[in-house]
Structures are given as structure tokens and as C-alpha cells.
């Protein structure tokens, strides 16, 4: 089923799902997400150590306009007002990440000032009745660990387990769900494979070894989190990509398959099957990582949930060798990032994962959203394309649920405009506009409509 048109609600309310949507159910969590380096700022305060993104941003030519997360949304100082804003919108869940460089000193001992920030933040969220999803690693590796090899060094996985131990002991009771890693594909491939993200290395062999150590870190952390905070859920967040063939030729179909192996199976197979997909090493011959006895059993520890981040699809053709190449389609809707709007890809992938993985855990859509060039006009931001985008992707989620996929919730990316990594501050993903010069927050029309739906759903479920 295509999701290219808005459903039959009036133009005054172009967001509310149809009456038969599963999204009306009371136990479907609807929230918003952020990440520490993208919003906090205060990179030199209260003992925070440098991260690989501080270093990357300081390297000329790496980030658009020379931007950095030095100030970002100044959330470190404005967190109370931001939590009030989140609660005021009626959002039921908040997915945030902890800055590893903020909570541990060089010698691995706790940084109490950094820990206290997250304790205050999480305590306030719980007081507001907001479900908390906490990601331990959203890409801001302490620079001193990168100096010793970063994710190419197996030792980093053990330091991550120490970090997970500290955080789960300190924050137990205030976290509903722990995610070990956010998008290890980006950390491994963009960070070590093609150099587009920190630390900026370019080597396919580095990418596969970094991925192995990232997943090992996840596997080592899961039992630690379970021991220290048994009431919480434990999971991981993977970004997924839909690849479609440019033609019906066998070569192009193979190219689309390899695209999805590289984007999806590279992460999901070790987690859910305990093996790496062999097709990955057909795509990148000679890049098999060093795997020690017991590693795959550690990596494939059972998960309470799987977080899924989805944004777009990629149309691909055979590159005439062992791989694929992008073939951008013409005349399709795209976002400010240049990404194609393709809600069916989310539904297709979710249903395919249910078929492929017999042990697929409950799923949360932990990121979904789009960038647009939003401007405040007469005190308002009318982000029409985002409203349409969210409605269609929520319809895709509803369709996947009706097809039997156990999806428990959906987090909008993002709560507010923020530092968009290598794209700096030009691309705006938020449902709340941020004026970076004044730090003024302006609720966008998309946020108003999401808020209205949540209020209507609450009232409807109270009547039942």
C-alpha cells in the first residue's frame, strides 16, 4: 500500500491517523529523541573531556561552515525549560543520550558534576511522567580513547562496559530502557570506512573491525545493565536502509540485496543470528574482522527491544564488479538533506525482518523524521512537508503492525533543531525551531498537531 497521499482528514488537521489505526491504542508510546553532542553545548564545563566530535569539528573542511557542538542548543543550561516544553507538548517518551566524556575522568573514575546533570534531568522527566529511553553511546567517544585506537582497539569495548556499569549503577530506577549504541553502522562505516564522520578514517577493513568491537561492547554491556538495573529494558538502536534495484536485471537485484546486507544484515545478523553475513565479505573481500572465541555469543545476547531508525531509500544498480552504485531517481519528493521520502521502505523492511529473524524482539522506531529549511514567520513555523512526512511514516508503521510486527512505539527525530553532525546547523530536523543566536524555541506546526493528537488519544482512551 502506498502512503503518498494524506488521508481524508480536513486540511485543518492533516496529521491525525484514521480511526482504525493501531496508533490510537493507549500503550503505543509516542515521543521525541535527541543526542547529547547535538544539543548540550557546554563542551568545556564541569570537567567534560574532549570527544572525537570536538576534534573532528576543529579540523578544517570536515563540518559545514566550520560549525561545532560547542554551544548547540545550550541544553546543558536550559534543560529545565526544555523538559517543561517536552511535557507541555504531551509527548509520552523522551529518548536522550549520555555524553561519555561528561561523566568519567581520564582515569575512569566518575565525574560527579556530569553525573549530577543527568540525574537531575532524568529525575525531572520521571516527575513529569515521561518514559525515558537512554542511549549510552551516540557517537561522542572520549578523544583519549580514540588516541589509543578508538573502536579499532578491542580494549575500547571493555572500557565501554565499565562506562555502562557506572551509568546503570548511578541512574538505576530513572531509566525505563537502555540502548547501548546508536547506529553502529554510522560509527563504523562513516567514522572508519569513508571518513565522513569522526574520527574520519577511510579503510573498509577498519570499518569491519570497528563494527565488531562496537557490537562486542554492546554484548559486554547487556549483562552489566541487567545486573545493575533489572527493571529496565535493554536494547540497541540500528539505522536501516531500503535498497531498491534500478531495473529488474539479475545484476541490479543482486546490487539491491548487497546494499541491504551492508546496511542491515551487517548489524542485525550478528545480533540476532550470531554470525556476520558472508555476502558482506563478497562486497568487501579480505575485510573479515578478528573475532575471538566467544565473541559472537556475547554479541548475540537476547534483547528486550530493537530500536530502528529509518529515513529514506536508495535506488541502486550494479557497479559492474562486486558491488552497487547509487542511481538517484528523478521527480521524487526529497527532503532538505536530499533524501527521498519513501514511507513504504519502512514498512517493507519491518515485515522482511519479521520473516528473516525468528527471534526479532519488540521494536521501537527510535528515529524517524526529516530536515527542512524552516523559518519563523510572524511567530510561527508552518512545516507542511514534515507534517505530511510524519503522517505517512506513521501510516507505514501502522501497516507493519497490522502485518504482525510487534512495534511498541515511535520517537520523532528530533525534539528540536540541533547540530546535524557534518552538516552543522544548516539542516533542521526539529519539531521545535531553535534560533541559535538567541536560543529561542518556537513550537512548529508539526509539534502542535502531534500534541493535539496525543491529547485527543488520551481523552478517547479515558472514555473507553
Binding residues for substrate: 38, 138, 182, 311, 413, 420-421
Average pLDDT over residues 155-178: 98
Q: State how far the Cα of 413 lies from the Cα of 35, in Å rounded to an integer.
A: 10
User: How does pLDDT run across 261-301, given as a tens digit for each residue?
Assistant: 999 999 999 999 999 999 999 999 999 999 999 999 999 99
pLDDT at 438: 98
Average pLDDT over residues 147-152: 98
User: How does pLDDT run across 420-447, given as a tens digit for each residue?
Assistant: 999 999 999 999 999 999 999 999 999 9
Is the pLDDT confidence value at 40 over 90?
yes
Which residues neighbour 133 within 8 Å (Cβ) at sequence distance 6 or greater? 31, 33, 93, 94, 95, 96, 175, 176, 177, 179, 307, 364, 366, 411
Average pLDDT over residues 32-36: 98
Which of these, 335, 214, 237, lies nearest to 35 by C-alpha position?
Answer: 237
Is the pLDDT confidence value at 132 over 50?
yes
pLDDT at 219: 98
Q: State how far the Cα of 71 lies from the Cα of 67, in Å rounded to an integer.
A: 10
Is the pLDDT confidence value at 10 over 60?
no
pLDDT at 462: 87
pLDDT-based confidence at residue 7 (cuts at 50, 70, 90): very low
Average pLDDT over residues 154-159: 98
**Could you tell me the maximum CA-CA distance found in the chain, to the nearest angstrom?**
62
Lowest mean pLDDT among 8-17, 183-192, 241-250: 8-17
pLDDT-based confidence at residue 322 (cuts at 50, 70, 90): confident
What positions carry a catalytic annotation? 183, 367
Average pLDDT, the chain: 96
Q: State how far the Cα of 10 lies from the Cα of 224, in Å rounded to an integer.
A: 50
Percentage of the chain modeled with pLDDT above 90: 96
* Residues facing residue 318 across a β-bridge: 324
Q: State how far the Cα of 344 lies from the Cα of 77, in Å rounded to an integer.
A: 40
pLDDT-based confidence at residue 12 (cuts at 50, 70, 90): low
Name the pairing type of β-strands 242-245 and 313-318: parallel
Average pLDDT over residues 371-383: 97
Q: State how far the Cα of 152 lies from the Cα of 307, in Å rounded to an integer.
A: 24
Which of these, 131, 74, 140, lies nearest to 103 by C-alpha position?
Answer: 140
pLDDT at 430: 98
Before 199, cis peptide (omega within 30)?
yes
- CA geometry: angle 277, 279, 283, nearest 5 deg: 125
User: How does pLDDT run across 353-371, given as a tens digit for each residue?
Assistant: 999 999 999 999 999 999 9
> Would you tell me which CATH number, out of the four given (3.20.20.80, 3.40.30.10, 3.40.50.1820, 3.90.420.10), belongs to the domain 22-463?
3.20.20.80
* Residues facing residue 315 across a β-bridge: 244
User: How does pLDDT run across 45-87, given as a tens digit for each residue?
Assistant: 999 999 999 999 999 999 999 999 999 999 999 999 999 999 9
Average pLDDT over residues 104-125: 98
Is the pLDDT confidence value at 14 over 90?
no
Average pLDDT over residues 390-395: 98
pLDDT at 3: 47
Lowest mean pLDDT among 94-98, 131-135, 318-322: 318-322
Which of these, 294, 261, 259, 296, lies nearest to 275 by C-alpha position?
Answer: 296
Is the pLDDT confidence value at 1 over 80?
no
pLDDT at 124: 98
Average pLDDT over residues 318-323: 92
Q: State how far the Cα of 309 lies from the Cα of 366, in Å rounded to an integer.
A: 6
b (16+ CB within 10 A) / e for 372-395: bebeeeeeebebebbbbbbbbbbb
pLDDT at 8: 35
Q: State how far the Cα of 217 lies from the Cα of 213, in Å rounded to an integer.
A: 6
Beta carbons of 335 and 268 less than 8 angstroms apart: no
Average pLDDT over residues 4-20: 62
Beta carbons of 315 and 326 less than 8 angstroms apart: yes
Amino acid at each position: 500500500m502506498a502512503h503518498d497521499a494524506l488521508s481524508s482528514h480536513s486540511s485543518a488537521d492533516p496529521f491525525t491517523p484514521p480511526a482504525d489505526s493501531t496508533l490510537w491504542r493507549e500503550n503505543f508510546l509516542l515521543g521525541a529523541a535527541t543526542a547529547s553532542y547535538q544539543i548540550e553545548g557546554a563542551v568545556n564545563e564541569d570537567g567534560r573531556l574532549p570527544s572525537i566530535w570536538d576534534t573532528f569539528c576543529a579540523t578544517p573542511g570536515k563540518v559545514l561552515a566550520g560549525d561545532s557542538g560547542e554551544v548547540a542548543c545550550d541544553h546543558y543550561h536550559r534543560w529545565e525549560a526544555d523538559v517543561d516544553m517536552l511535557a507541555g507538548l504531551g509527548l509520552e517518551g523522551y529518548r536522550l543520550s549520555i555524553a561519555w566524556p561528561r561523566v568519567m575522568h581520564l582515569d575512569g573514575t566518575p565525574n560527579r558534576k556530569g553525573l549530577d546533570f543527568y540525574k537531575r534531568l532524568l529525575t525531572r522527566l520521571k516527575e513529569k511522567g515521561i518514559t525515558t529511553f537512554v542511549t549510552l553511546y551516540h557517537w561522542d567517544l572520549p578523544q583519549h580513547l580514540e588516541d589509543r585506537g578508538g573502536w579499532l582497539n578491542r580494549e575500547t569495548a571493555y572500557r565501554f562496559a565499565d562506562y555502562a556499569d557506572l551509568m546503570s549503577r548511578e541512574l538505576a530506577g530513572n531509566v525505563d530502557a537502555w540502548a547501548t549504541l546508536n547506529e553502529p553502522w554510522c560509527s563504523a562505516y562513516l567514522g572508519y570506512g569513508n571518513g565522513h564522520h569522526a574520527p574520519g578514517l577511510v579503510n573498509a577493513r577498519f570499518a569491519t573491525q570497528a563494527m565488531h568491537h562496537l557490537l562486542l561492547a554492546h554484548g559486554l554491556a547487556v549483562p552489566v545493565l541487567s545486573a545493575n538495573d533489572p527493571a529496565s529494558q535493554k536494547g540497541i538502536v540500528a539505522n536501516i536502509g531500503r535498497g531498491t534495484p534500478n531495473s529488474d536485471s539479475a545484476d541490479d537485484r543482486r546490487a539491491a540485496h548487497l546494499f541491504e546486507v551492508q546496511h542491515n544484515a551487517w548489524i542485525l545478523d550478528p545480533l540476532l543470528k550470531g554470525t556476520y553475513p558472508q555476502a558482506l565479505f563478497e562486497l568487501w573481500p579480505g575485510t573479515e574482522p578478528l573475532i575471538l572465541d566467544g565473541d559472537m555469543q556475547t554479541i548475540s545476547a537476547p534483547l528486550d527491544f530493537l530500536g530502528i531508525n529509518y529515513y529514506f531509500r536508495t535506488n541502486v544498480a550494479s557497479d559492474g564488479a562486486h558491488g552497487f552504485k547509487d542511481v538517484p531517481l528523478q521527480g521524487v519528493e526529497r527532503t532538505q538533506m536530499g533524501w527521498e521520502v519513501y514511507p513504504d521502505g519502512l514498512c517493507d523492511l519491518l515485515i522482511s525482518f519479521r520473516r528473516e529473524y525468528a527471534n526479532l524482539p519488540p521494536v521501537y522506531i527510535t528515529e524517524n523524521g526529516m530536515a527542512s529549511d524552516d523559518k519563523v514567520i510572524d511567530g510561527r513555523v508552518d512545516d507542511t512537508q514534515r507534517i505530511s512526512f510524519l503522517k505517512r511514516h506513521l501510516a507505514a508503521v501502522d501497516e507493519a503492525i497490522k502485518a504482525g510486527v510487534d512495534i511498541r512505539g515511535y520517537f520523532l527525530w528530533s525534539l528540536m533543531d540541533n547540530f546535524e553532525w557534518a552538516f552543522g546547523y544548516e539542516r533542521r530536523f526539529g519539531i521545535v525551531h531553535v534560533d541559535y543566536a538567541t536560543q529561542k524555541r518556537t513550537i512548529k506546526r508539526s509539534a502542535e498537531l502531534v500534541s493535539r493528537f496525543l491529547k485527543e488519544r488520551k481523552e478517547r482512551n479515558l472514555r473507553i
